């Protein structure tokens, strides 16, 4: 059976994803993979695109992928990408986790207030709603369709804090002197901020998948080992943010790899009962329904790089 040409790839505006390296270089072309890139506002939007068969591959946080699988969308995760990509930010008058030494004490500062988040069902939304439910505080989560809208609301004072990506943290620091009050490794350790998810139909073309994963891993290593060069590619491609912005985003959470490590998978599976409890999914999914390990195990034979 002939390979699909081009491969339709859904990506987000998250600057530290390998999508920006692969869009800004000729690596995929040299690997014989012709890609058609499509930008989406959020992980849940990528799931919808999978459902309508608009895309073959997606860069997506694992919670929205799990929600899609529970709905019957025929997708599966075949590789990792990054862990710990969710931070809580607020203006400088609020105290940090380092100050208060307790997550609930940090959250208590927002009792009766509003925390902004990307859309319902995004990994950021799930993490903050889980934390608030466990703390049993009366704090409203306001969801926005685009992360840019979260930033605007924080700048305008419409929300009191925000949960989102390291890129959001860097942008908010520049726009309104906001700061990270809970770092990514404390909100949910090893949380699968994004992985590579495919339509199951793509597994009929097994020669395409290793080629893409090889380039994805090469780009992950490039970001880790040559961040200045990687930042230059991303900055030039976007034409919106400078290299220092990208480097700052890389530094907030520098855990990049393509492997499906035990930590990546274990953290993902710990989301399942939470998603069920929060009524995002109807049942507890198994690991085999979410992950296909075979492709990345052939490509990534060394130890995972997330914690190097």
Neighbouring C-beta atoms of residue 302, cutoff 10 Å: 8
- SS3 call for 161: strand
* 7-83+191-299 topology per CATH: D-Maltodextrin-Binding Protein; domain 2 (3.40.190)
Question: For residue 2, is pLDDT > 60?
Answer: no
pTM greater than the 0.85 cutoff: yes
CATH second-level architecture of 87-187?
3-Layer(aba) Sandwich (3.40)
Count the alpha carbons within 13 Å of 303 in the hemisphere toward its beta carbon: 3
pLDDT score at 202: 94
Which tens digit of pLDDT belongs to each residue from 263-288?
999 999 999 999 999 999 999 999 99
User: Identical fold at 7-83+191-299 and 87-187?
Assistant: yes
- Sequence spans of domains, the chain: 7-83+191-299, 87-187
Task: Give Cα 141 to chain centroid, integer Å.
Answer: 19
pLDDT score at 308: 77
Which tens digit of pLDDT belongs to each residue from 241-270?
999 999 999 999 999 999 999 999 999 999
Which tens digit of pLDDT belongs to each residue from 183-240?
999 999 999 999 999 999 999 988 899 999 999 999 999 999 999 999 999 999 999 9
Q: Quick one: which of 243, 241, 259 has its CA closest to 251?
A: 243
Question: For residue 3, is pLDDT > 90?
Answer: no
| Strands 161-164 and 194-199, bridge-based pairing | unpaired
Query: b/e for 31-69, b at 16 or more Cβ within 10 A?
Result: bebebebeebbbbbbbbbbbbeeebbbbbbbbbbbbbbb
With bands split at pLDDT 50, 70 and 90, how would you rate the model's confidence at 1? very low
């Amino acid at each position: 059976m002939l390979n699909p040409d081009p491969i339709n790839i859904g990506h987000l505006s998250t600057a530290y994803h390998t999508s920006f390296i692969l869009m800004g270089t000729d690596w995929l072309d040299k690997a014989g993979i012709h890609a058609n890139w499509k930008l989406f506002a959020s992980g849940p939007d990528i799931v919808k695109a999978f459902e309508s068969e608009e895309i073959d591959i997606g860069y997506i946080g694992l919670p929205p992928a799990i929600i899609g699988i529970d709905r019957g969308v025929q997708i599966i995760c075949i590789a990792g990408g990054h862990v710990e990509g969710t931070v809580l930010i607020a203006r400088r008058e609020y105290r940090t986790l380092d100050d208060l030494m307790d997550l609930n004490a940090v959250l208590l500062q927002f009792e009766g207030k509003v925390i902004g988040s990307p859309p319902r069902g995004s990994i950021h939304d799930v993490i903050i709603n889980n934390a608030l439910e466990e703390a049993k505080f009366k704090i409203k989560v306001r969801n926005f369709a685009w992360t840019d809208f979260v930033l605007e609301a924080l700048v305008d004072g419409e929300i009191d804090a925000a949960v989102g990506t390291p890129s959001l943290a860097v942008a908010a620091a520049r726009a309104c002197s906001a700061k990270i009050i809970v770092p990514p490794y404390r909100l949910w350790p090893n949380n699968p901020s994004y992985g590579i998810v495919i339509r199951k139909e793509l597994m009929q073309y097994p020669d395409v998948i290793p080629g893409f994963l090889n380039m994805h891993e090469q780009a992950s290593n490039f970001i880790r080992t040559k961040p200045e060069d990687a930042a230059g590619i991303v900055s030039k491609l976007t034409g919106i943010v400078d290299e220092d912005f990208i480097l700052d985003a890389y530094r907030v959470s520098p855990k990049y790899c393509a492997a499906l490590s035990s930590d990546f998978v274990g953290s993902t599976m710990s989301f399942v009962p939470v998603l069920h409890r929060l009524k995002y999914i109807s049942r507890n999914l198994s690991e085999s329904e979410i992950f296909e390990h075979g492709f990345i195990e052939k490509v990534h034979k060394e130890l995972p790089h997330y914690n190097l």
